[in-house]
Amino acid sequence: MLKILVSRMLTTIPALIGVVVVSFLLTRVLPGDTAAYFAGPAATPQAIEEVRKQLGLDKPLPEQFRRYVVDLSRGDLGKSLTTGQPVLADLKARLPASAELTLFGLVLSLLVAIPLGVVAAVKQGSMIDHACRAIVTAGVSLPVFFSGLLLVYVFYFILQIAPAPLGRLDVFASAPDMVTGFYLIDSLIAGDGATFRASFTQLLLPGVTLAIFALAPIARITRASMLSALAMEFVRTARASGLNARTVVMTYALRNALLPVVTTLGMVFSFLLGANVLVEKVFSWPGIGSYAVEALIASDFAPVQGFVLAMAIVYILLNLLIDLSYRLIDPRMSATS
């Protein structure tokens, strides 16, 4: 297992190098002048040029890239001109908020999508199967920002049962002592039930928004994988042997149908990282998605580059975890590695 882990990590190095190069070049070709933005609308050309020199933007592009790589090798992602803080510190402060929201939405979608896909496959052609296909179609068709705005309109403005979409906590609650950065977990560790309830209610609507977005592909692939597994010879043999239907479905069919589902989870998680940007803006969520958008509007290169690099690392680690989980689901893969 260790040998596999090391080999997979080595294969990620070229991908990370590519991400660094591409993110650097893309931020330089984007429209907007960073020096002019931060010099102010009334700045003279001389003042703008002075700001450009201070930021090192007057240097040739290869020299700028060399400096960026040297700083990156030291763990320095640069300084955000919009917040005045090191990018690494900003990412550390905001990443737990995005991670908590993304994982909450993914867990919600799994709790609904996998049972729904399994039942739809077992009872093919039933009302549940038709409902599954309708939910999948709606999940694919609705843009994530529209789903978020619709939930806010219904549950906050009309029904008034949801809190205002203004971040991770309402104005009457205070953040728990930081242990993991996840408010739900940290409030439980502190034994603070009030903060737990406050953070959960704030997390519910944006989490459901992401869950709706993720539910469609997971339910669809679960249904298709289960239909394929149920048609296999070993499942028919298990039924002919007199095993009860629950054992056949859960022990034999579902376990063999999980590999495509796990593969889909990797893609869905990457989609959720992108959808997070829109959801965080709709719900004023203080995550790295909104941080990157604000930096992009201000032509602030360092936070955008840090965001892209952080997302690449998260995605690579996720794919590594999925690759290792294959061997837990199907032991035959370990034997052939």
How far is it, in rounded angstroms, from Cα 227 to Cα 235?
Answer: 11
Q: Which residues contact 297 (CB under 8 A, 6 or more apart)?
A: none
Encoded tokens for 192:
């603070």
**Predicted pLDDT of residue 52:** 83
The candidate with the shortest Cα–Cα distance to 183, out of 75, 103, 273, is 103
Tell me what the mean pLDDT of segment 195-219 comes to. Answer: 92
Encoded tokens for 156:
């906050």
For the chain, which residues make up each domain, given as ranges? 93-287
pLDDT in tens, 80-110: 888 889 999 999 999 999 999 999 999 999 9
Q: Which residues contact 264 (CB under 8 A, 6 or more apart)?
A: 217, 218, 221
CATH topology of domain 93-287: MetI-like fold (1.10.3720)
Whether the predicted pLDDT of 39 surpasses 80? no
The answer to whether residues 57 and 34 touch, using CB atoms and an 8 Å cutoff, is yes
On average, the pLDDT of the chain sits at 85
Angle at 96 between CA 186 and CA 169, to 5 degrees: 60
Separate counts of helices (H) and strands (E) for the chain: 15, 0
How far is it, in rounded angstroms, from Cα 329 to Cα 35?
Answer: 53
**Predicted pLDDT of residue 9:** 73
The answer to whether residues 87 and 102 touch, using CB atoms and an 8 Å cutoff, is no
pLDDT in tens, 287-330: 998 898 888 888 788 898 889 888 888 888 887 777 777 666 66
**Predicted pLDDT of residue 170:** 83
Question: Of 26 and 105, which is predicted with more confidence?
Answer: 105
pLDDT confidence bin for 151, thresholds 50/70/90: very high
